[in-house]
Structure 1
Amino acid sequence: MIRRCPQCGTAADDKYGFCYKCGHEFPKIEMDAKACPLCGFINPEEADYCVKCGTPLVFKQQFEKTSTTTLGPIVIQKEVVQNPAEHTQKRTSRWLILFGYIFSILGGILGLIIAIYLSTRKDPVARKHGHIQLAIFAFYIALIAIFYLTGNIPPEAIAQYRQMLAGNFTSI
């Protein structure tokens, strides 16, 4: 626990039993529910904070006999963004991944372009999703090939599709 050295005023961890700056030996504090871990003041039973210094009485819950459960401390960690460009890139990749899946499932050329773009990224998550989207396209190509070879798609449909791509499409 952290205590303030009475000799030099340094806040020091007393797990060693002495101040690391001046060598003052800390007096032993009994781990009592009423004793303050910082200053050692004996507080009233109903106090949650030390009456003398305001330190939270962290040992109070551990030593209460009526409590059946002990809750650990709540730790909130803030994500520190060291490189803002990386953070923006991650957000962009999320949108590209989402749109890539939408256009891949719909079978558009835009989905193929996004899938190839994501497959070439350094970010392993974006690369993985790009590969999955390319696999979706490969599945569609294999499915079309199977339908063509079994006769479910007539050769005239492929010829009409080629004409449509060339800009020479006439109505059926």
Structure 2
Amino acid sequence: MSEKICPVCGVTLPEQAKFCYNCGSKLVEEIKVLVCEVCGYENEVGSRYCISCGSILTGALESTAEKESGRRIDIEFKPSKVQEHKKEKEVKQRKRKRFKVSSTQIFYVGLAVVFLGLVAYGVMRKEKEKAVDVHQLPEINSEIMAEINKLRERVNSNPDDMQATLKLANLLHDVHIFDQAVEYYRRYLERNESDPDARVDMGICLFELGRVNEAIAEMEKALSYAPNHQLALYNLGVVNLAIGNVEKAREYFKKCIDVNPNADVAQKAKRMLEQHKF
């Protein structure tokens, strides 16, 4: 059975009741309207625009009642407990909505700050991945793994085979198995200490493993044997930039360019200087 609430005392009454049996108040039919915040005109529920001034309707519904004359007037009465609870619920919902929007905005602002804070490192990392991998990265498949296993057996059976040892280290480097690559580079460099290419490659693997100080040491040692080794100079710039040694990075990038400005790695060093506004 349909019910309605007495607007004065809040008692629940049958739908057909015209007077409240609790307080005796005369019951009038409530009409919900949308009041225009610009001109004050009362528009019908569901309207998007005010028919009086054309403004967008954004206000809350307001209650009115019809007198016997048929004109609309505002109902002035003390809100019932049910109505107060409903109003409090609506206020809480609006607050949650505002909070949700605010949180979203804060999230995106924070995300933008983090992005700006890491963009320099991200660009540097991308360039490093292009430059430090001297060998083109092949797809890791069964054939490559078979070749790695074959070389491993060959080296283990003949530790003096430095050619196979270096080839195994390079192949492990190419497929990003950096920890094992370092092991075989070390074996090779024990017999071929002055090979700058092998030292730079091992330094790259150490950097990828997060062993930055060791990486710098190996690359600097490569320069002691080959002072104009452009790849060593460039990668030392990259590694120093990654850990925040901006002045050192600038120094190495410029040295790399001075060795041979037309080389590909020199062009990459120029781009790094331009991108980071050294």
Q: Which has the higher strand share?
A: 2
Place the TM-score, normalised by the shorter chain, in its bin.
under 0.3
Please identify the structure whose Cα radius of gyration is greater.
2
TM-score by length of 2: 0.18
